[in-house]
Amino acid sequence: MDLDQLTALRTPEGSAALAAAAEVAGGDPLAAAAALRSAGIPGGLAAAALTQAELRRRAAGKFGAAAAGMFLTRAGLEQATRRVVADRRAARLRAAGVTSLADLGCGLGADALAAARAGIRVYGVEADPVTAAMAAANAEAAGLAELVTIECGDATAFDVRRVDGVFCDPARRRAGTGRRVFDPNAYSPPWDFVTGLAARVPHTVVKVAPGLDHALIPAGAEAEWVSVDGDLVEAALWCGPLAGTPRRATVLRCKEGPPVNASGREGPPSHHLTGTGTAEAAVGAVRRFLFDPDPAVVRAHLVAELAADLGATLADPTIAYLYADAAHATPFARCLEITDVLPFSLKRLRALLRERRVGRVEIRKRGSALEPEKLRRDLRLTGDEPASLVLTRVAGAPTVLICRPVPTAG
């Protein structure tokens, strides 16, 4: 999409095209295009409207009902912060006393809008002209234009002396190709600029890739990993007065609570596990119950802290599965009861599952090169009973654990 297409979509004719496209989005693309043509909508406008309608449909999982009025790009949607995460970050900034915020690399404006909903004055900077225009349009659609100013420009040139807080989300994809960038030195803005922000504005938060090397975390910063309903979605570095602990794993359960409201003060249950990220869990034998830690816990290097809470141990020092004698309810791990521990053998496993009439298996793995779907086919199951299979290593040896869920834990 270009600026002319965006401008056309914001006219009354464009609004009508968007409404018509919303009615046919998600179905056959050719039939949808034909429906808009038959309604007299010009081809270029129809194509742009259909693209937006499809992106809005996909965006509902991130932004809820607000997605229906947003302007989006595919790359921008993929990189945008989920509303539940953005609102909680904004609430934390507001609670720390931040009243004005520079959003450097604001993208489509998801974090800028969250900060504005929390009552923070936001100055967003975005290098791409179309994305910047969309962010401004999204602020207007949300009724937040008075609190959000978007400018197209170089984030490194913004005068951060104008604000008392900074949020920076450096681009981690190459312009033009969309390919992911894994080297922080190739981010835009570059990593040395990003890590130097806290020296200029102490209340600084940086959104980073969940796979960030812990060695790159600045001294004194809090590194937080966030998961939503079991999916690891992002990591952030909280600097200066915002840092509360060296490492934090935040687990959000959106399916267990209401959505965040406009103030950011309500939302689904959130659970926090904190620690140094350097502790090591004890190693012992496989026990009756297995705990599969949430990915936020694993990435934050807080498995040892979780093990201490559960009275659990590892069975292999390199595998983040925990074992305990008792089941415990915890938001930080899935709990399974182990019924069998076998050295991995396809022939023996197939025979045992057939003997127990197992026909449906959930397959989890850590430290195994086996492909779950190939194993599922090779097992050739025909029964009607369920089971959970865990492919792992115990004391370095390939092992399969046959398990069943523990409904009251996790």
Within a domain: residue 284?
no
Closest CA to 53 of 23, 30, 75, 33: 23
Residues 358 and 225 in one domain: no
Within a domain: residue 120?
yes
Residues 195 and 307 in one domain: no
pLDDT confidence of residue 256: 57
User: Alpha helices of 42-178 — where are they, by DSSP H?
Assistant: 43-63, 74-79, 83-95, 110-117, 129-141
pLDDT at 195 over 60: yes
Within a domain: residue 267?
yes
Mean pLDDT across the stretch 102-116?
Answer: 97
* 26 — pLDDT class (breaks 50, 70, 90): confident
pLDDT at 268 over 80: no
Interatomic CA distance for residues 72 and 46, integer angstroms: 16
Domain count, the chain: 3
More confident residue, 195 or 262: 195
Domain end residue (candidates: 71, 98, 126): 71
Domain end residue (candidates: 240, 274, 308): 274
Q: Is the pTM of this model over 0.85?
A: yes
Q: What percent of the chain has pLDDT over 70?
A: 94
Residues 224 and 331 in one domain: no
Residues 65 and 99 in one domain: no
Domain end residue (candidates: 274, 297, 316): 274
pLDDT confidence of residue 260: 46
Residues 152 and 28 in one domain: no
Residues 330 and 372 in one domain: yes
Residues 127 and 248 in one domain: yes
Within a domain: residue 281?
no
Mean pLDDT across the stretch 165-178?
Answer: 78
pLDDT confidence of residue 343: 95
pLDDT confidence of residue 264: 44
pLDDT at 208 over 80: yes
Token digits for 133?
A: 């225009």
Mean pLDDT across the stretch 82-97?
Answer: 96
Interatomic CA distance for residues 280 and 84, integer angstroms: 32
Q: Identify the helix (H) or strand (E) that includes residue 341.
A: strand 333-343
pLDDT digits (tens, 9 = 90+) for 238-262: 999 999 999 999 999 887 554 444 4
Residues 350 and 327 in one domain: yes
Q: What percent of the chain has pLDDT over 90?
A: 83
**CA-CA distances (angstroms) from residue 4 to 19, 33, 128, 183?**
19, 20, 15, 35
pLDDT digits (tens, 9 = 90+) for 272-286: 999 999 999 999 999
pLDDT at 150 over 80: yes
27-41, 79-93, 150-164, 237-251 — which is least confidently predicted? Answer: 27-41
Residues 178 and 211 in one domain: yes
pLDDT confidence of residue 29: 87
83-92, 248-257, 301-310 — which is least confidently predicted? Answer: 248-257
pLDDT at 409 over 70: no
pLDDT at 271 over 90: yes
pLDDT confidence of residue 187: 80
Q: Three-state SS for 391?
A: strand
pLDDT confidence of residue 76: 93
Residues 101 and 183 in one domain: yes
Domain of residue 102, CATH code: 3.40.50.150
Provide the mean pLDDT of the chain. 92
Mean pLDDT across the stretch 125-154?
Answer: 97
Residues 128 and 63 in one domain: no
- Contact between 20 and 50 (Cβ < 8 Å): no
* 174 — pLDDT class (breaks 50, 70, 90): low
Within a domain: residue 279?
no
Within a domain: residue 32?
yes
pLDDT confidence of residue 265: 47
pLDDT digits (tens, 9 = 90+) for 314-364: 999 999 999 999 999 999 999 999 999 999 999 999 999 999 999 999 999
Residues 51 and 85 in one domain: no
Interatomic CA distance for residues 406 and 289, integer angstroms: 9
Token digits for 41?
A: 């909508």
pLDDT confidence of residue 253: 86
Q: Domain span at residue 38?
A: 3-71
pLDDT confidence of residue 266: 54
DSSP secondary structure of 203-225? SEEEEE-TT--GGGSPTTPEEEE
